[in-house]
Amino acid sequence: MRILVVCGAGASSTFVAQRVRHAAHAQGLDYSAFAGTEQSLPIDLDAADVVLVGPHLSHAMERIERDAAARGTTVVLLPSDIFGDRDGTRTLALVRAATGDGNPPPADEPSAETPSNTTAPPSRSVTEDGDS
DSSP 8-state assignment for residue 40: T
If pLDDT is split at 50, 70 and 90, which confidence band does 34 have?
very high
Q: Is the pLDDT of residue 24 over 90?
A: yes
What mean pLDDT, rounded, does the chain reach? Answer: 81
pLDDT tens figures, 80-93: 999 889 999 999 99
Residues 6 or more apart whose Cβ sits within 8 Å of residue 24: 30, 31, 33, 88, 92
Q: Amino acid letter at 105? A: P
Segment 91-120 mean pLDDT: 61
pLDDT tens figures, 51-85: 999 999 999 999 999 999 999 999 999 999 998 89
Strand partners, 37: 7
